[in-house]
Amino acid sequence: MTLRKAVAYAALAAGLLAAGTVSAQDPIAARKDGFKAAKEAMGMIKKTLDDGGDLAVVKTSADKLADVATKAGGLFPAGSDKGDTKAKPAIWSNMDDFKAKNAAFAAESAKLSQIAAAGDAAATKKQFGAVAGTCKACHDSYRSE
């Protein structure tokens, strides 16, 4: 493993560990930490694919995305729509749709991990597009810019 890859793995792991240590008493902070880790993982995947890099990096990052997605569903309790958040109130009035979009993010991220593990770069790039599409679908409906 190159030093660059080791540093990338360490940065992603640190972000997810930080997300996991935020108290459930502060769901807004936990959401921010989790989605920051997801953004970093997406960036790592894009860079790796653009550079023709090691698909093991994509798999690891996709696993992190799936983990964030799995945890994110429980980080939008009633009353957590107030404060320093980009979450739109529509989340709480359309919770079933929001959870479905989050479940799609988790499923497509897990699928990306499996495809990357199989070593097919073209299929991995295509699946990365599907994951990005789940992000966009949720952000378009439920995230303020």
> What residue numbers does the annotated binding site cover?
135, 138-139
Coil/strand/helix, residue 138: helix
Angle, CA of 96, 58 and 31, to the nearest 5°: 35
Closest listed residue to residue 94, CA positions, set 135, 138, 52: 138
Binding-site residue ranges for heme c: 135, 138-139
Q: What is the dihedral of CA 4, 57, 46, 102, to 10 degrees?
A: -130
